[in-house]
Amino acid sequence: MTTTPTPSRTPYRSALHPTRAGFPGLLRAEWTKFRTVRAWPLVLAVAAAVTVVISQLGAAGSSFGGGPEVTVGPDGTVVTDAFHFTHRPLTGDGSLTARVTGLRSADGRDIEPWAKAGLMVKRSLDPGAPYAAVMTTPEHGVRMQWNFTHDTAGDGGGTAAWLRLTRSGDRLTGYESGDGRTWHRITEVRLDGLPRTVQVGLFVATPAHQVLRRSFGGTTEVFGGGSVTAAFDGPALRGTSTGAGWTSTDVGGPVPNGPTPADAEPGRTRVSATGTHTLTGRGDVAPDESLGDPVQMSFQGVFVGVLFMVALGALFVTSEYKRGLIRTTFTATPSRTRVLAAKTLVVTAVTFAVSLPATALSFTLAQSRLRTNGYRPPAFPDLSLLDTPALRAVVGSAALLSLVAVLALAVGVLLRTSAGAIAAVVVLVVLPQILAFALPLPAAHWLLRLTPAAAFAIQQGVTYYPQVEHNCLPESGCYPMTPWGGLSVLAAYAGLALLLAAWRLRGRDA
């Protein structure tokens, strides 16, 4: 019996020149696919336009004004500088030593974790003037703080401690002791431009009580007054003092969500027969984090632009599966991981190239509108596009949009359907943002740490200081992670999805 031999299949040979049949040629082929499908460049253009327009509309709907005058610290930061101060002038070098006891709430409420009582050297009694202070707090131990934004922890804890603050020229050094004999240096700081005569003394302050209520209907914060009391045993001042004795002053400055200096209950100082000074007062000495974030307000359109990037990234691969063209692609290039790499690079490049000018334009136009609506110095910095918070937010927002498209591309490879891939990425990136506005704050913070929505932290322009107790509300533009840390969560999701997509491509048919 004669059998007809089966003809052998001729392996695929690329007609391209060898230098173009490799990865550069594959990149060109994927770029050609992108630009020749008219819908994809159109989606990209619409995404950029929507990002700019929505950001402009969001800025137009925000306004600031009618509040009290702000206090500005030595470095230009808006600060709270309101406290009860029992002080004397100190000329030249010297030191102040005292034992702080009995730190407690004076109004019967729970004491605030960052209530403080201690020793201070201040350039003058003007709110916002440079200072250095060593203090004890109820839950954060002994601290040395200076010029509002700087904070260093001591070695000890508790509310009873001997404290010492020394001056040598423009250098201030804080010390702590458990027994008044053995002293431990906390840190030394330099306050440039200190005059020869400064004010040195005892102080108390406490932030206002806050009660937070959150529900799907909205968020409310209730602020109540608060005052704190502490006793200072045997304050000993060494050095030249031109004053006849101690003077008590309520250093005045606007307190966020608190009474004005004129309406606030005045502080008081009582001196016992043994020389113990008992101070009662309110207010705070810290950065003011109650204002808005005009940098984050400039990128409200990015949230909507994400939806277009999700669709673009998913369709760039799922449309080939739907029409069966992916088989042709894999026949022309048998290395499927190289195909995935080429698609990823093309999507990354085109989305970032379009997103970067869109976010830059969004910031520039939105900042102009916000300044018109009251977000002006001194309460808010006049940021240019090249200032660090603005530049980071502009570039980071463009990277966010690009990474979302890459994540959608990888999920599209895994699911092979447009609807499924788009829905999955929207649930991962967009839904956590919406839920975070209504969930209890701890749950909202965990959600914004563990999901790709953490990447929106890159838009934060306000510095949140650890020595300030505040409710970090997502709806106010505050995120629990640092800006670059949040963006790295999205990058990790995109990278993991790409690895799974490459593994899946190698293990199943097209």
Q: Per-residue pLDDT tens for 226-271?
A: 789 999 998 999 998 887 789 999 998 555 555 444 446 788 999 9
Does 11 reside within a domain? no
Does 5 reside within a domain? no
Q: Which of 287, 305, 330 delimits the end of a domain?
A: 287
Using alpha carbons, list the distances in angstroms from residue 508 to 45, 103, 123, 187: 35, 68, 73, 62
If asked whether residues 372 and 325 sit together in one domain, one would say yes
Q: Is the dihedral of CA 16, 17, 22, 25 positive or negative?
A: negative
The pLDDT, as a whole number, for residue 325 is 72
Using alpha carbons, list the distances in angstroms from residue 43 to 322, 326, 371, 427: 19, 22, 32, 20
CATH code where residue 136 lies = 2.60.120
The span from the CA of 274 to the CA of 277, in Å, is: 9
Neighbours of 475 (CB within 10 A): 13
Largest CA distance in the chain: 128
If asked whether residues 159 and 210 sit together in one domain, one would say yes
Neighbours of 481 (CB within 10 A): 19
Does 281 reside within a domain? yes
The span from the CA of 320 to the CA of 38, in Å, is: 15
Does 90 reside within a domain? yes
CB 228 within 8 A of CB 256: no
Domain span at 102? 72-287
Does 326 reside within a domain? yes
Q: What's the structural domain count of the chain?
A: 2
The span from the CA of 357 to the CA of 351, in Å, is: 11
- pLDDT tens per residue across all 510 residues of the chain: 445 555 554 444 444 444 345 778 788 888 888 888 888 889 999 999 999 999 999 999 888 876 668 899 998 899 999 999 999 999 999 999 999 998 998 877 788 889 999 999 999 999 999 999 999 999 899 999 999 999 999 886 554 589 999 999 999 999 999 888 889 999 999 999 899 999 999 999 998 877 666 665 555 555 556 789 999 998 999 998 887 789 999 998 555 555 444 446 788 999 998 889 999 999 999 998 888 889 999 999 999 999 999 999 999 888 877 776 766 776 666 677 888 889 999 999 999 999 999 999 999 999 999 999 988 888 888 888 888 899 999 999 999 999 999 999 999 999 989 999 999 999 999 999 989 888 888 888 999 999 999 999 999 998 888 888 877 888 788 899 999 999 999 999 999 999 999 898 876 655
If asked whether residues 245 and 385 sit together in one domain, one would say no
Nearest CA among 135, 144, 150 for reference residue 279: 135
If asked whether residues 112 and 224 sit together in one domain, one would say yes
If asked whether residues 116 and 139 sit together in one domain, one would say yes
The span from the CA of 461 to the CA of 120, in Å, is: 31
If asked whether residues 337 and 237 sit together in one domain, one would say no
pLDDT in tens, 294-326: 999 999 999 999 999 999 999 988 887 777 676
3-state secondary structure 245-261: CCEEEEECCCCCCCCCC
Does 7 reside within a domain? no
Name the one residue in this structure whose structure tokens are 């020394």. 166
If asked whether residues 280 and 299 sit together in one domain, one would say no
If asked whether residues 281 and 303 sit together in one domain, one would say no
The span from the CA of 166 to the CA of 424, in Å, is: 60
CB 314 within 8 A of CB 418: yes
The alpha-helical segments, DSSP class H, found in 373-477 are 388-415, 418-429, 431-436, 441-450
If asked whether residues 77 and 49 sit together in one domain, one would say no
If asked whether residues 166 and 301 sit together in one domain, one would say no
If asked whether residues 276 and 127 sit together in one domain, one would say yes
Q: Which of 241, 266, 287 delimits the end of a domain?
A: 287
DSSP 3-state of 273? coil
Does 9 reside within a domain? no
If asked whether residues 53 and 129 sit together in one domain, one would say no
Helix axes 418-429, 300-323, angle to 10 degrees: 160
Distance linking the first and last C-alpha atoms of the chain: 39
Does 15 reside within a domain? no
Q: Which of 258, 287, 316 delimits the end of a domain?
A: 287
Predicted structure pTM score: 0.84
